[in-house]
Every structure is written in structure tokens, then in C-alpha cells.
């Protein structure tokens, strides 16, 4: 199998072992003579795939029974609307922390449904840090933040403290399953699968059971968490193949030793790259050191005129998708769970060699 190092922010690299197993099972899953893609979502074969995936996800994150685990569609973007539709519970206010482009989009969408206010933001310094304390408004229904901003590369390394009566809601899309998380601190966690956990088209929602069942009038049934929970995420035909692949990714993570083990690998990869950037006068990362993302590492070259040449040279050596997001420019290396350390070493080596030529 010939594989390149794909530094895309998402859809992103999947573990080679997972792809190989999926290829192996593509046309005939476990002697059924069918591909998972061809199975009824109500049939016993697919139900066993779904149940095992949920069990493994619960085990990886130590999710207690008081939480529902939902496998939904519509991406994290739909959650920007679905969260207020479900969690306002008769209230009209929700508080938002804005640390980058994604949380900015989340609050903008929530404003369609309620009085959504920004209670803390790092926009004053170009989204280069994560505010740690926020004073919430009285009678707020929940507080929402993005625990890893994919574009700016800003990650919360601690769960922010909020009063226990206010549900904490997190968009974990771009660092889901990259480290252990104490789920019990959250009212709701959501994440698109296409970065760390599987193909696009699947969204995970982990929600405390007592918060659901009060969706705003007019909420479509497929967007009502309670209706989806009662239907085991199969109120309509779910994203079956994506769920199967996610299940294989969960197994891969378990075999590696779980989230504490993948976290160590992620720390090592991120350190390698940041240490090199910090030691160089040619590359720069603008994020406060304590808030730097282990998953998404944006960096600029001393002279933006060299960007094109940098990207072309990297592609020639089998390293792709390093172009930064159009809103910030420069480069961005997304080094999710499936990126092997060899990929990060190859990138650092290339950066060093490029700097020598141009520095």
C-alpha cells in the first residue's frame, strides 16, 4: 500500500490498519456475502456493528449510563443549531465563549434561536489564546465553547470551570478521542467524525439524559435528541458505513491502549513540531504556548512569498494539505491520531532543509 502523509484538517488521515481491514471486508462482511454498505440498518448484522461501536466508544471515554451516545448526521455545523433547539429547555439565553472561527459560527447560528451572548472571547488578540474564566449571565440555559479551534490551533488543555448548575457544552470536533476527557463535567459534547474518528457524514453527540426531552416546538424529529435517543440514533436511515468505520477506529484505539496511550503519542508529535518552530527564526506560531493545539499546528514562513514553493516541495516529498486556512494564511499541519510520528519527523526534516535553503 502506498500512502502519503496527509496533513489535512479534515476529512483527514485514517489509520492504515483500519483502511486495510475495511478493504478486506468491503464486499463480504464476516461471511454474510454483503458489504456493510448494503446492509439494512435494522438487520441483526448492522445492529451488532452499531452496538459494538457504541460500547467501545463508551469504554474509551468512560461514559456513564447517565449519558446518551448518539450517532447523527449533519456535521458539527448542524449542532450549532441543534444544541439551542434542544438545550434551551424553556429558557431564552445561552452563553458562548468565542476563541476562533468555529465558535464564532456557533454563536452566530444560536442567535437565530435565542439570546446568545459572547461572555468571553480572544478576538482582541486574533484568537491566539483561550480565556480561562468567564462570568455567565443569570438564567443562562448552557455555556458553549470549542475545546479545539481547528483553524487557529487553540486548544483548551483543562476543562473550564463553570457553576455545576449550568450545563457545559463543547464542540470537540477536532480533538475528539485524542486524549482522555472527563465526560461527567459536560452537559453535552459533540464532534464531527472526519478528523479523528472516521469518515465525514457522521456526528457524535454525548448528552446527559436529564437535559433532553424538551426540544423547542417546531424542532424536526431527526434533530430532537430525545427522539433520536429513543430510536437508538435510527429514527431514519443513519450513516451506516461511517458508523462501521468509526467502530473500527475505536477498536484500533483500544488496541493501542486507549486514550491515555494515544495522548502520549500526540504529545510527542506536537512537541517535535512546536520545538522545531520555536527554535527557528524562519517559522512562527502565534498561539500562547499553554493553549497550543496538539492537533492543528498553524505556522507562517518568514516570507509569505515562499509559501507556494514550500507547498510544492512538500508535495513532491509526499506531504500534502499543508496550506493554512484561507482566513489565516500560512501553513497548517493537522496531526491527528492517525498521523504517524514518522510523518511529523518527515515534515520537520523538510522544514529544516527548506529553511537552510532560504533562511
User: How many CB atoms within 10 Å of residue 186?
Assistant: 21
Among residues 192 and 343, whose Cβ is nearest to ligand PLP? 192
**Among residues 15, 192, 199, 238, which is the contact residue for ligand PLP, using CB under 6 A?**
192
The region of 73-81, 84-92, 254-262, 303-311 touching ligand PLP under the rule CB under 6 A is 73-81
45: how many CB neighbours lie within 10 A of its CB? 14
Which of 187, 192 has the CB closer to ligand PLP?
192
Least distance CB 212 / ligand PLP (angstroms):
21
- Take residue 355 and report the three cell numbers written for it: 529553511
Q: Which of 6, 150, 178, 228 binds ligand PLP (CB under 6 A)?
A: 150
> At a CB cut-off of 8 Å and minimum separation 6, what does 146 contact?
97, 99, 100, 102, 103, 106, 170, 171, 173
- Residue 146 as a binder of ligand PLP (CB under 6 A): the answer is yes
**Does 109 sit near ligand PLP (CB under 6 A)?**
no
**Whole-number Å distance between alpha carbons of 305 and 315:** 17
Rounded Cα distance, 36 and 33, in Å: 10
Tell me the C-alpha distance between 8 and 330, whole Å: 14
The answer to whether 196 contacts ligand PLP (rule: CB under 6 A) is no
Whole-number minimum distance, CB 203 to ligand PLP, in Å?
A: 7
| By the rule CB under 6 A, 201 interacts with ligand PLP | no
Alpha helix segments (H runs only) across the chain: 16-24, 44-61, 75-87, 101-110, 225-230, 240-256, 259-279, 307-316, 341-358
Catalytic-labelled residue, pool 95, 171, 224, 291 = 171
Asked if 83 and 190 touch (Cβ cutoff 8 Å), the reply is yes
> Out of 36, 61, 63, 76, which residue is the one contacting ligand PLP (CB under 6 A)?
76
Tell me: does residue 54 bind ligand PLP (CB under 6 A): no
171 contributes a contact to ligand PLP by CB under 6 A: yes
Interacting span for ligand PLP (CB under 6 A) from 37-45, 59-67, 167-175, 259-267: 167-175
**C-alpha radius of gyration, the chain, whole number:** 21
Query: Which among 21-29, 71-79, 301-309, 349-357 is the span making contact with ligand PLP, rule CB under 6 A?
Result: 71-79
Among 77, 214, 280, 317, binds ligand PLP (CB under 6 A): 77
CB 172 within 8 A of CB 32: no
Residue 171 annotated among the catalytic residues of the structure: yes
Residue 252 annotated as catalytic:
no
Stretch that binds ligand PLP, among 36-44, 74-82, 128-136, 348-356 (CB under 6 A): 74-82
Sorted by sequence, the CB contacts under 8 Å of residue 274 that are 6+ apart come out as: 285, 292, 297
Alpha-carbon distance 79 to 60, whole Å? 23
Nearer to ligand PLP by C-beta: 56 or 171? 171
Dist. CA 95–CA 107, nearest whole Å: 8
Identified catalytic residue from 104, 195, 265, 269: 195
Active site residues: 102, 171, 195
Residues that bind ligand PLP (CB under 6 A): 10, 75-77, 102, 146, 150, 171, 173-174, 192
Amino acid at each position: 500500500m502506498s500512502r502519503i502523509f496527509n496533513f489535512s484538517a479534515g476529512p483527514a488521515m485514517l489509520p492504515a490498519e483500519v483502511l486495510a481491514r475495511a478493504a478486506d471486508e468491503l464486499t463480504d462482511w464476516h461471511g454474510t456475502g454483503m458489504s456493510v454498505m448494503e446492509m439494512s440498518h435494522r438487520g441483526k448484522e448492522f445492529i451488532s456493528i452499531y452496538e459494538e461501536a457504541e460500547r467501545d466508544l463508551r469504554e474509551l471515554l468512560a461514559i456513564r449510563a447517565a449519558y446518551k451516545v448518539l450517532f447523527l448526521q449533519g456535521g458539527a455545523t448542524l449542532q450549532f443549531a441543534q444544541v439551542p433547539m434542544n438545550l434551551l429547555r424553556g429558557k431564552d439565553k445561552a452563553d458562548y465563549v468565542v476563541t476562533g472561527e468555529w465558535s464564532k459560527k456557533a454563536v452566530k447560528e444560536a442567535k437565530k434561536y435565542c439570546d446568545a451572548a459572547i461572555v468571553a472571547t480572544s478576538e482582541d488578540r486574533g484568537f491566539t489564546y483561550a480565556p480561562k474564566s468567564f462570568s455567565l449571565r443569570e438564567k443562562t440555559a448552557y455555556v458553549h465553547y470549542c475545546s479545539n479551534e481547528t483553524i487557529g490551533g487553540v486548544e483548551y488543555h483543562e476543562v473550564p470551570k463553570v457553576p455545576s448548575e449550568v450545563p457545559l457544552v463543547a464542540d470537540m470536533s477536532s480533538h475528539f478521542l485524542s486524549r482522555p476527557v472527563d465526560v461527567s463535567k459536560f452537559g453535552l459534547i459533540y464532534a464531527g467524525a472526519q478528523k479523528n474518528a472516521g469518515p465525514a457524514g457522521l456526528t457524535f453527540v454525548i448528552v446527559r439524559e436529564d437535559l433532553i426531552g424538551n426540544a423547542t416546538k417546531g424542532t424536526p424529529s431527526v434533530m430532537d435528541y430525545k427522539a433520536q435517543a429513543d430510536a437508538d440514533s435510527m429514527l431514519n436511515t443513519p450513516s451506516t458505513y461511517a458508523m462501521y468505520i468509526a467502530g473500527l477506529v475505536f477498536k484500533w484505539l483500544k488496541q493501542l491502549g486507549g486514550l491515555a496511550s494515544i495522548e502520549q503519542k500526540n504529545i510527542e508529535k506536537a512537541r517535535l513540531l512546536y520545538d522545531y518552530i520555536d527554535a527557528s527564526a524562519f517559522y512562527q506560531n502565534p498561539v500562547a504556548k499553554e493553549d497550543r493545539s496538539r492537533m492543528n499546528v498553524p505556522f507562517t514562513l518568514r516570507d509569505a512569498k515562499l509559501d507556494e514553493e514550500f507547498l510544492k516541495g512538500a508535495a513532491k516529498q509526499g506531504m500534502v494539505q499543508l496550506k493554512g486556512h484561507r482566513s489565516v494564511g500560512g501553513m497548517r499541519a493537522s496531526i491527528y491520531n492517525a498521523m504517524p510520528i514518522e510523518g511529523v519527523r518527515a515534515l520537520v526534516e523538510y522544514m529544516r532543509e527548506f529553511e537552510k535553503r532560504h533562511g
